[in-house]
Structure 1
Amino acid sequence: MGLFKSQRFSDIKAVASGPVIAIGLTASMGGFLFGADTGQISGFLIMRDFLRRFAQFKPEEEEKNGVPYGFNNVREGLVVGLLSIGCLIGALIAAPISNRLGRRMAMISLCGVFLVGNTIQIASFHAWYQVAIGRFICGLAVGGLSVLVPVYVSETVPKQIRGALVATYQLFVTMGILTSYCVNLGTSHVDDGPWSWRGALMIGYLWALILMGGMFILPETPRYLLSQGRKDDCIKALKWIAGKKNKGNQALIESQYQEMSSMIHEEKSFAKKSFFSSFDPKDKVMYRTILGFALQMFQQLTGANYFFYYGTTIFQSVGLTNPYVTQIILGSVNVVSTFPGLWFIERYGRRKPLIFGGLWQCAWLIVFAVVGSECDQNSKTVGSVLIFSACMFIFGFASTWGPGVWVAIGEIFPLRVRSHSASFATAGNWSWNFLLAFFTPYITSSIGYRYGYVFAGCNLIGVLIVFFFYYESSNLTLEQVDQMYTDPDTKPWKSSSWVPKGYSSRREAAEDEKERADINAGLREDGRTQHIENADRQGSMDSHTTKESTNAI
């Protein structure tokens, strides 16, 4: 086992080229945009100038807010939640846009949409609905990017580090949230006027421009290029992604090209697909689409945004004089906890982190609900326990369900419906994001901290869904994941033992692939006989196709 871990680390190191890392970091700025918007609005709701301009006149609120203004539940829910409605629509339209323009150009276009929405918010003076409309337009971009970033990364980077780089999207979401908390703290001290919130919004231009500029440099995904018949462009993209250190390893590029070519050829044997093709019961396509929707829905129902959207009001009993400090505490835990999450996904696979993470979250939500509803809320000790249990919950979420669900969305769908199914699945995230953002003020005013019991129950349901329906896809290519889901003899709770045909274990498949690449590259001159056997076992393409693609390289 130690030898395999060492070999696996060596494999990861071998494929982790500079371009691969650049792809993961640049594309994940789409997550940063979402995190930045989420963190901003929670701070704006307590800024005095924002309240004076957009809230209702409420003299009784002056002691709490510093000004005689406050939001009612409807207006607050709409200002907070319309971003999620925009995200929902953006997620649904991302598929047809990306299929027509390509993943890369679609992401660039969505960055432009974000800049427009941000400008509308900055230009607001007294109309609260103008802020809400601007957030809705920003949501169109953020929702579309939430679909395309995992798809782009999954279709571009090698499988050895695919999980970690797709999960980087969630890491950037947490970094965006924390950055906005810090920006809000800074602008609130610099100016008590309109620049307290306009300044924070203007900084948002920077994040969108970084993503837009980076995507102009990065290539289109090889899988998309090949699916459009652009073979030469596909090979160029594979060479660029391989980087300088793998520039001479034609076997690695050839292996990736042939695997994609074989699967895409099979996909094209099907009729042209529409959005409704995602609900075709054949090959468990509908199964996987609904599973993706359920995973995204229960990621929201874990209760994470309960703390991120309304954290400043939840912990008033803690006695912190500056509510921004509470935000920064929660945001810091969120960011730091995501790093072990990236390791969990690569070390323990996809299913185990979600199962044990859900149980961990459930336990701490019960502690939160019991202490908050049954103990003296005016006690600082009780307040400290509440914020500690919230931090423990966020640790679990950020290291399991936060990144884990985005990894699942990038892996479980077959190529022919990947964009459509990912759009529908991600719509589950944004629709429930809005429902929670809009109705939480009503619910908390009615049941208070007992809301934690509701989320605890949802975490248990999420665990059951993962156990009974979600397949283990770690250390498999996207094409092999598709084969696993269509294997009638494989059950989700036993899927970790599934291996590609011709192998006795995934370990053997990974080692054999590395050995085959080394032999093809001429690194093992004495292993050519074994290479032929391995190539046969992998089901290589006919000699004419192999020769043609090799010459192209």
Structure 2
Amino acid sequence: MGFFSTHASGTLDPPEVRNWRIHLIALVASMSALAMGYDTAVIGGTMALDSFRRDFHLDEVSSTTRDTIQGNIVSTFQAGCFFGALFTFPIAEKFGRRKTVMLAGTVFLIGGTLMTAASGNLNLIYAGRAIAGLGIGASSLTVPVYIAETAPPSIRGRLVGIFEIASQGGGMLGFWINWIVPLGIQLVPGLGLALGMIWCPESPRWLARGDHFDSAERILTQIRGLPADHEYIRREMNDIRTQVEQRTSQRMTKKQMFQKLFQKGIRNRMGLGMALMFLQSFTGA
């Protein structure tokens, strides 16, 4: 229990909140990052395989056409990620983080299945890559928020960091395991995400924003491992209520929310996150 229960010096978090349950929730949710890293990395080596070039008749076309096909295979996934992330926010706000991540995992599984069953059909590869990208884009937007909203403050950075570590780990797996088997392996983290989220609870902060404070408190007691009358639970529930009241009384327009991204402090955090993702892509993964 040492790793999970060590009390964080300088914080008000009791050791009980640093439990195996909250770490497991972060690990399950981070399956989306593992799938993202793997799918991004594996496709380059897969397209270079003799079996892939043979089954999809890439050796029978000109080099220009082959380059175009390979570029389309790569870009359809990125396009799916873009639109998945772009349109997911209102879904996550209305239906909750947990249901949104489960939906994203299911969408990714559909895309991965289409790719694995393509058997020489490039259209299925394109469709599978685009659909899988939608799922990954949706989960990459929602999962870090879900982890942050369920984690206690003292280990929030560690738990959100699992998402990035899983992404890099998936990328390494994609390079090390270089058409049916490499593409089929991506179903494992997708299945883990879709099924694992059935066990994971909803974000208590999202529930509170919908005026479901009793449900939020019940989930907090479960994931913190503390009784409802514990001082820590009461304090966190008060913080959540205050945050919800502030959000309700100080509603911002979309323009104001966009401008807030560039405020000092938030700007630095956003820039750091974007820089990390840029450097990951810059490695060629």
TM-score of Structure 1 vs Structure 2, range by shorter chain: 0.7 to 0.9
Distance 1:37 1:25 in 2: 18
On the 8 A contact 1:91/1:144 being kept in 2, the answer is yes
1:54 aligns with 2:56: yes
- 1:202 paired residue number: 184
Deviation at 1:41, TM superposition (A): 0.5
1:151 aligns with 2:145: yes
- 1:238 paired residue number: 220
- 1:344 paired residue number: none
Distance 1:199 1:55 in 2: 19
- 1:169 paired residue number: 163
RMSD, aligned α-carbons: 2.9
1:220 aligns with 2:214: no
Q: Secondary structure at the match of 2:201?
A: coil
Q: Note closer, same or farther for the CA distance 1:293–1:82 as it changes in structure 2 (3 Å cut).
A: farther
- Give matches, 1:344-355, under 5 Å: none
> What letter matches 1:287 in structure 2?
F
- 1:39 paired residue number: 41
Structure 1, residues 134-193: CA drift from partner, whole Å, max 9, x if none? 111100000111111110011111110000110110111122122333443xxxxxxxxx
Deviation at 1:248, TM superposition (A): 7.1
- 2:113 paired residue number: 119
1:266 aligns with 2:266: no
Counterpart among 256, 262, 278 of residue 280 in structure 1: 256
1:179 aligns with 2:173: yes
- 1:549 paired residue number: none
- 1:20 paired residue number: 22
- 2:4 paired residue number: none
> What letter matches 2:247 in structure 1?
E
On the 8 A contact 2:18/2:155 being kept in 1, the answer is yes
Q: Note closer, same or farther for the CA distance 1:78–1:231 as it changes in structure 2 (3 Å cut).
A: same
Q: Note closer, same or farther for the CA distance 1:76–1:241 as it changes in structure 2 (3 Å cut).
A: same
> What letter matches 2:196 in structure 1?
G
Structure 1, residues 480-528: CA drift from partner, whole Å, max 9, x if none? xxxxxxxxxxxxxxxxxxxxxxxxxxxxxxxxxxxxxxxxxxxxxxxxx
> What letter matches 2:120 in structure 1?
H
Q: Normalising by the residue count of structure 2, what TM-score does the alignment of the two structures yield?
A: 0.86
Distance 2:11 2:210 in 1: 34
Q: Secondary structure at the match of 2:283?
A: helix
1:74 aligns with 2:68: yes
- 1:110 paired residue number: 104
Structure 1, residues 379-437: CA drift from partner, whole Å, max 9, x if none? xxxxxxxxxxxxxxxxxxxxxxxxxxxxxxxxxxxxxxxxxxxxxxxxxxxxxxxxxxx
Q: Secondary structure at the match of 2:76?
A: helix
Q: Note closer, same or farther for the CA distance 1:133–1:6 as it changes in structure 2 (3 Å cut).
A: closer
Deviation at 1:279, TM superposition (A): 2.6
Q: Note closer, same or farther for the CA distance 1:129–1:291 as it changes in structure 2 (3 Å cut).
A: farther
State which drifts further: 156-165 or 18-27. Answer: 18-27
On the 8 A contact 2:22/2:223 being kept in 1, the answer is yes
* Gap regions ≥5 residues in structure 1: 61-68, 185-196, 310-553
1:257 aligns with 2:237: yes
> What letter matches 1:216 in structure 2?
I
Q: Note closer, same or farther for the CA distance 1:130–1:295 as it changes in structure 2 (3 Å cut).
A: farther
Q: Note closer, same or farther for the CA distance 1:12–1:236 as it changes in structure 2 (3 Å cut).
A: closer
Distance 1:240 1:38 in 2: 35
* Gap regions ≥5 residues in structure 2: 1-6
Distance 2:76 2:165 in 1: 24
1:128 aligns with 2:131: no
Structure 1, residues 66-87: CA drift from partner, whole Å, max 9, x if none? xxx8974322222112211100
Percent of matched pairs sharing the same residue? 27
Counterpart among 116, 131, 134 of residue 137 in structure 1: 131
> What letter matches 1:210 in structure 2?
G
Q: Note closer, same or farther for the CA distance 1:152–1:46 as it changes in structure 2 (3 Å cut).
A: same
Distance 1:117 1:84 in 2: 13
Deviation at 1:115, TM superposition (A): 1.2
Distance 2:14 2:224 in 1: 13
Distance 1:293 1:89 in 2: 20
On the 8 A contact 1:108/1:216 being kept in 2, the answer is yes
Deviation at 1:6, TM superposition (A): 7.3
On the 8 A contact 2:34/2:168 being kept in 1, the answer is yes
On the 8 A contact 2:25/2:200 being kept in 1, the answer is yes
- Give matches, 1:119-518, under 5 Å: 119-184=113-178, 197-243=179-225, 246-247=226-227, 250-271=230-251, 277-280=253-256, 285-287=260-262, 297-302=274-279, 304-309=280-285
Distance 1:118 1:12 in 2: 42
Distance 1:142 1:6 in 2: 33
Distance 2:34 2:14 in 1: 25
- 1:372 paired residue number: none
On the 8 A contact 1:122/1:198 being kept in 2, the answer is yes
Distance 2:248 2:61 in 1: 66
Q: Note closer, same or farther for the CA distance 1:146–1:46 as it changes in structure 2 (3 Å cut).
A: same
Structure number with larger C-alpha Rg: 1
On the 8 A contact 2:37/2:170 being kept in 1, the answer is yes
- 1:95 paired residue number: 89
On the 8 A contact 2:38/2:174 being kept in 1, the answer is yes
Deviation at 1:207, TM superposition (A): 1.3
Q: Note closer, same or farther for the CA distance 1:109–1:202 as it changes in structure 2 (3 Å cut).
A: same
